[in-house]
């Protein structure tokens, strides 16, 4: 198995992703400071600067965080990351995703996840997603991608107390056959 690139540079018609760097804090916080983005998240205060600083530190320390840009305008619209890579088990998680509300419902999240899933399946057989139990928007998005609910567990986000999350999975073979694969 070759080394999994946790911070690839990838693009499609709707989004472009690039590695997150420490110098990106202010630009990313400008997107994240909208309270509406976080209203269903396990930590709805992440729009507050001091809370987002902890989130951002975790993103940098993960070495798998990505910036998400609108491919047409070039505007920064959010972030996502790969984490919990387990090469022996053939799994990686995708999550910590947020997108500017102006880009909700326009296919950007699906395009982002399609890029990330296609990249992941070059190295792993299964991708996991941890979603806040009450985050109905994200849960619906997972189901539209063809993810299957496989359980629940308390998840401690970097520097935050554990909160109940549901766990979804998409296996490589299911993704290859999925009509949801097209952005």
Tens digits of residue pLDDT in 94-113: 999 999 999 999 999 999 99
**Nearest residue to 166 via CA among 143, 182, 150:** 150
**Sign of the C-alpha dihedral, residues 88, 155, 181, 170?**
positive
Q: What is the pLDDT of residue 42?
A: 87
Residue 3 placed within a domain: no
Query: How many structural domains is the chain composed of?
Result: 1
Q: What gap in Å lies between CA 176 and CA 106, rounded to an integer?
A: 23
H/E segment holding residue 66? strand 65-70
CATH number at residue 86: 3.40.630.30
Copy the structure tokens of residue 112.
Answer: 């982002």
Residue 5 placed within a domain: no
Residue 28 placed within a domain: yes
Confidence band of 88 (pLDDT split at 50, 70, 90): very high
How high does pLDDT run on average in the chain? Answer: 94
Residue 4 placed within a domain: no
Mean pLDDT of 34-57: 94
| Enclosing domain of residue 41 | 10-181
Residue 72 placed within a domain: yes
Confidence band of 173 (pLDDT split at 50, 70, 90): very high
Q: What is the pLDDT of residues 117-128, one digit of tens each?
A: 999 999 999 999
Q: What gap in Å lies between CA 48 and CA 33, rounded to an integer?
A: 6
Q: What is the pLDDT of residue 73?
A: 97
Q: What is the pLDDT of residue 51?
A: 94
Residue 163 placed within a domain: yes
Q: What is the pLDDT of residue 161?
A: 85
Q: What is the pLDDT of residue 183?
A: 53
At residue 7, does pLDDT exceed 70?
Answer: yes
H/E segment holding residue 70? strand 65-70
Residue 2 placed within a domain: no
Q: Is 61 exposed, middle or buried, given 0-12, 13-18 or 19+ CB atoms closer than 10 A?
A: exposed
At residue 135, does pLDDT exceed 90?
Answer: yes
At residue 160, does pLDDT exceed 90?
Answer: no
Q: What gap in Å lies between CA 165 and CA 82, rounded to an integer?
A: 17
Residue 29 placed within a domain: yes
Interacting residues of 146 by C-beta distance below 8 A, sequence separation 6+: 170, 174, 175, 178, 180
At residue 1, does pLDDT exceed 90?
Answer: no
pLDDT over 70 percentage in the chain:
98
Would you say 166 and 151 are in contact if contact means Cβ atoms under 8 Å apart?
yes
Interacting residues of 110 by C-beta distance below 8 A, sequence separation 6+: 141, 144, 145, 180, 183
């Amino acid at each position: 198995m070759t080394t999994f690139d946790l911070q690839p540079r990838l693009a499609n018609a709707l989004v472009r992703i690039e590695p997150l760097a420490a110098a990106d804090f202010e630009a990313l916080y400008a997107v994240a400071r909208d309270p509406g983005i976080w209203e269903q998240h396990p930590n709805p205060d992440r729009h507050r600067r001091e809370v987002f600083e902890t989130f951002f530190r975790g993103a940098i320390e993960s070495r798998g965080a990505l910036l998400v840009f609108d491919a047409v305008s070039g505007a920064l619209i959010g972030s996502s990351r790969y984490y919990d890579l387990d090469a022996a088990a053939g799994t990686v998680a995708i999550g910590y995703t947020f997108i500017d509300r102006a880009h909700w419902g326009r296919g950007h999240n699906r395009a982002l996840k399609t890029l990330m899933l296609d990249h992941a399946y070059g190295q792993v057989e299964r991708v996991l997603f941890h979603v806040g139990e009450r985050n109905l928007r994200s849960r619906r998005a997972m189901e539209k991608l063809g993810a299957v609910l496989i359980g629940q567990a308390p998840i401690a986000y970097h520097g935050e107390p554990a909160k109940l999350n549901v766990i979804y999975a998409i296996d490589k073979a299911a993704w290859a056959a999925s009509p949801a694969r097209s952005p």
